[in-house]
Amino acid sequence: MYKRLVFRLLGVLLLGGCRQLLGIEEATLICSHDDPGCSSCIRDTDCGPATECYAWSCVDSTCVHVNAAARTPCSLGVCSEGERSECVACVLDADCGDGGHCSDNECYRCDDGIQSGPEFGVDCGGACGMCLGLPCSEANDCTSGFCVDGVCCNGPCEGVCTTCNNAEGDCSSLPKYAQDYAPTCGGANVCDGFGSCLLRPGEICFSDVECASYRCENSRCVKLSGESCNSPLDCVDNGCMNGICMQ
């Protein structure tokens, strides 16, 4: 009987990195620092070392980590939110200084000349505003401050026969013979491919410079050799073959 009592009080058995205190009614596991899979304890120090952003507490023989308050200062920046707090660069934009932004606990800026964080390009995307050529609904959507033809543009692009509706977001001239309704270049007029609005082929003219084709023939604007046509009247010398003006 005496030996059995001593065994109950003092016996220690090493099992899988943990010490097991054996009793008649129950057994209590005590974790070693080398066995993160073991979560039982007698004292706080059985649970392992603390970090900058959380400490261990032994509660009812079970290891429980206790987080520091979110945004508590630490060596890399601040302590994070979440189930187990870690030392990260940021939690909020305010942690990144004036002009900085926080995404996935990392800081980025919109004026540092590099692509970082959630940016789609250099200093654009995410909180920085949309990059050139990406869809927009208003000027404030764009890093450039210009939303033209539904995309972010490199300038106001307000001239006739110009557009920014391209992948680069560059203000450029509409193609030759295209129409532009903002500002108006329609009806008898079309674009000349260089940012001017002139008479379409087939319209009455008195000089070459009135025509988008820059050719006035027999008092009508006509297309040049190699351009598409619908009838001989569209072309110089009335030569339309297989839908192409022939010389």
Cα–Cα separations (whole angstroms), residue 125 to 79, 102, 194: 26, 13, 32
- Region of poorest pLDDT, from 16-30, 89-103, 146-160: 16-30
pLDDT band for position 20 (cuts 50, 70, 90): very low
Alpha carbon distance 169, 208 (integer Å):
33
The mean of the pLDDT values for the chain is 83
* Residue 16, Cβ density class (10 Å: 0-12 exposed, 13-18 middle, ≥19 buried): exposed
Query: Shortest CA distance to 51 belongs to which of 61, 63, 66?
Result: 66
Residue pair 205/215 in contact (Cβ under 8 Å)? The answer is no
Q: What are the tens digits of pLDDT across the range 198-231?
A: 999 989 999 999 999 999 988 999 998 899 988 8
Name beta bridge partners: 228.
244
Whether the predicted pLDDT of 47 surpasses 50: yes
Give the mean model confidence (pLDDT) for residues 178-200: 91
The full length of the chain comes to 247
- Report the C-alpha gap between 31 and 15 in whole angstroms: 10
Can you tell me the distance from the alpha carbon of 193 to that of 224, in angstroms, rounded to the nearest whole number?
14
Band of the pLDDT at 17, cuts 50, 70, 90?
very low
pLDDT digits (tens, 9 = 90+) for 95-119: 999 989 999 999 999 989 999 889 8
C-alpha count within 13 angstroms, C-beta hemisphere, residue 83 = 1
* Residue 147 predicted with pLDDT over 70: yes
Q: What is the pLDDT at residue 233? A: 81
Token pair, residue 137, equals 């609904």
The pLDDT of residue 235 is 87
More confident residue, 13 or 244: 244
What is the distance between the terminal CA atoms of the chain, rounded to a whole angstrom? 121
d(CA 225, CA 231): 13
CB atoms within 10 A of CB 176: 16
Alpha-carbon gap, residue 183 to 168, rounded angstroms: 22
In this prediction, residue 30 carries a pLDDT of: 54
Contact indicator for 189, 181 with CB cutoff of 8 Å: no
Residue 237 predicted with pLDDT over 80 = no
Residue type at 225 in one-letter notation? S
50-71 residue pLDDT tens: 899 999 899 888 888 899 999 9
What pLDDT sits at residue 135? 92
Least confident of 110-114, 174-178, 232-236, 240-244: 232-236
- Whether 196 shows a pLDDT value over 90: the answer reads yes
- Residue 113's DSSP bridge partners are none
How confident is the model at residue 45, as a pLDDT?
85
Q: How confident is the model at residue 29 (pLDDT cuts 50, 70, 90)?
A: very low
**208: its two tokens:** 């070459």
- For residue 63, what pLDDT is reported? 87
Specify the pLDDT at position 37.
55
Give the per-residue pLDDT at 241. 87
Q: Residue 234 and residue 240: Cα distance in Å, rounded? A: 8
